[in-house]
């Protein structure tokens, strides 16, 4: 996914991602079972699954069996309208070292177009409601999305190529 850093959002530096649309799908039974839900408002798929729930409390209350989702072959993003934000989300990574990504920029490449279509907004405030969580300022620009927020350095290193 090609990204580039830009500095034209009100909240300072932002990342410029390509936007991508998720298409409606019939939810696999394994997906709903692993999330521990009976149903969803909507399920879509692109690179990742997008599961839409009714409200923020449902997203926060999820206790999924993340590693059991590995046969699905996709990451899983769950979202709902937010109480104090335009929308909230969580992002699960079956089979990866980090089972739930605390704040996921690339998932918002799919979330921003989805919520733009529902809310009619080009600028949105989002919150990823993982244990660590984070706020994102999102801007829809047709085939691109701009994402900014407060970042925290969690690791530094050097790579040597020969």
Report pLDDT digits (tens) over 36-82: 998 789 999 999 999 999 999 999 999 999 999 999 999 999 999 99
In this prediction, residue 5 carries a pLDDT of 43
In this prediction, residue 45 carries a pLDDT of 96
The owner of tokens 């350095």 is 153
In this prediction, residue 40 carries a pLDDT of 82
Structure tokens at 147: 């994402």
Say if residue 1's pLDDT is above 60: no
In this prediction, residue 67 carries a pLDDT of 93
**pLDDT tens figures, 70-121:** 999 999 999 999 999 999 999 999 989 899 988 888 899 999 999 999 999 9
pTM for the whole thing?
0.85
Please, which pLDDT band fits residue 11 given cuts at 50, 70 and 90? low
Say if residue 10's pLDDT is above 60: no
Grouping H, G, I as helix, E, B as strand and the rest as coil, residue 29 is helix
Instruction: Measure Cα distances from 130 to 38, 86, 100, 160 in Å.
Output: 21, 16, 7, 34
Q: Are strands 49-52 and 42-45 parallel, antiparallel or unpaired?
A: antiparallel
Alpha helices in the chain (DSSP H): 29-35, 56-61, 108-119
Please, which pLDDT band fits residue 151 given cuts at 50, 70 and 90? low
Please, which pLDDT band fits residue 6 given cuts at 50, 70 and 90? very low
Alpha helices in 25-131 (DSSP H): 29-35, 56-61, 108-119
The structural architecture, per CATH, of the domain 19-148 is Roll (3.10)
In this prediction, residue 38 carries a pLDDT of 86
In this prediction, residue 39 carries a pLDDT of 78
Say if residue 22's pLDDT is above 70: yes
């Amino acid at each position: 996914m090609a990204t580039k850093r830009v500095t034209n959002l009100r909240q300072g530096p932002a990342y410029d991602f390509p936007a991508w649309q998720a298409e409606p799908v019939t939810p696999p039974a394994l997906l709903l079972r692993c999330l521990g839900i009976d149903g969803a408002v909507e399920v879509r798929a692109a690179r990742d699954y997008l599961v839409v729930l009714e409200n923020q409390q449902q997203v926060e209350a999820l206790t999924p069996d993340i590693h059991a989702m590995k046969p699905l072959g996709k990451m899983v993003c769950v979202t709902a309208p937010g109480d104090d934000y335009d929308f909230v989300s969580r992002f699960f990574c079956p089979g990866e070292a980090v089972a739930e990504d605390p704040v996921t920029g690339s998932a918002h490449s799919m979330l921003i177009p989805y919520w733009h279509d529902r809310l009619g907004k080009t600028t949105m405030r989002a919150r990823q409601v993982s244990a660590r969580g984070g706020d994102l300022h999102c801007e829809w620009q047709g085939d691109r999305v701009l994402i900014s927020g407060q970042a925290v350095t969690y690791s530094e290193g050097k790579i040597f190529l020969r």
